[in-house]
Every structure is written in C-alpha cells, then in structure tokens.
Amino acid sequence: MTTQTEDIVKDNITRELPCSLNDLEVLKIARAKAKTEAELEELQDEIKDERSAQAARLEAVEKRIEIMGGEIRTGEQRRPVPCYERFVNGTIEVVRKDTSEVIDRRAASLVEAQKVMPMTDAPAADASTLDQAAHMQRGFSEDDDEAPDEGEPESEPKKKRRGKAK
C-alpha cells in the first residue's frame, strides 16, 4: 500500500473498527466478562441489602410515629418507674415508689411466702424451744383432729385397736 505524503491531512489517528479475534483473545475476553458479571451480581446484592436496611429504618420510623400518636391520644407515656414488691396476705404486690400505687398483684410462691417471716423482738430461740417446736410438729398426726395446745402437756399417744370387724 502506497500513500503519498502530500495527500495526508492528519497522521496517526485511530478509529474503533471491527477486527477478527484469535482464540487467545476470545479466552481473555471471556474471563474478563465472567469477572464483570460477578461484580454486577455483587452490586445487585449490595443494593438489595441497602434496600432492606432502608426498609427496616423506614419501619422503625413509622413505629416511632405510631407510638407518639398513641401517647398523644392517651396523654400517657411508658417510662421506667422505680417500684418494689411487698408481701401482703399471701400475695405479692408491685408498688410504684413515686405514687405508692399498687400496679400488679399475684399469688406469692412458696419460696416467697417462706422468706417473709414476722419480725419479733423476742430473743433468739434456745435449743429447748427448738426441741419443743419439733416435738409439737411430730405430735400432730393425721389421726388427731386438732394440733396439741401450746402450754398443755401432750397426752399419751392413742393406741389403735386391732380386732375383728363386727
């Protein structure tokens, strides 16, 4: 191909033109395409995650608005309030410290009922008092209608008769 230099207006220009690919070039492009497809999938997943996060944020804001609307309608707001529990006649009452209002009642568990023992100014029980109490507890049997009176000596245990039925 011969060209005359006087005919050239501009030299060293390039244009995008179709060219045939050899096998190595096809393989190189195929690998690049696979990487780019993976990048696209990654970006789509990121967008999906961002949308989910934004949807969760949107839901949280909507929930806050709903709560505030309820507070405006009722004129009340839920807040942490110091309280205490007290034992009253076999029940546990939850009482607000600021207003002394009973806000909840429930039956006391056995453990709670046992923990609450009346306080006395009496001196600590000695061994004989404890022995007497234990003896009183053992002395009350299923056959007896009543517990033995305190202060009265216990009578002899009743003997059961064994005999023929009449």
pLDDT digits (tens, 9 = 90+) for 145-154: 444 444 444 4
Residues 72 and 87 in one domain: no
Residues 31 and 47 in one domain: yes
The total of structural domains in the chain comes to: 2
**Pairwise CA distance, residues 98 & 83, whole Å:** 8
Residues 73 and 33 in one domain: yes
pLDDT tens, residue by residue, 11-67: 889 999 999 999 999 999 999 999 999 999 999 999 999 999 999 999 999 999 999
- Model's pTM, two decimal places? 0.41
Handedness of CA 121, 122, 125, 131 (dihedral sign): negative
Q: Which domain holds residue 109?
A: 79-117
Beta bridge partners of 87: 92
**Pairwise CA distance, residues 69 & 54, whole Å:** 22
* Interval 65-90 mean pLDDT: 94
For residue 90, the model assigns a pLDDT of 86
Q: Above 60 in pLDDT, residue 81?
A: yes
Q: Are the beta carbons of 108 and 92 closer than 8 angstroms? A: yes
Handedness of CA 70, 71, 72, 73 (dihedral sign): positive
Residues 61 and 99 in one domain: no
**Pairwise CA distance, residues 91 & 100, whole Å:** 17
For residue 140, the model assigns a pLDDT of 45
Is 49 within a domain?
yes
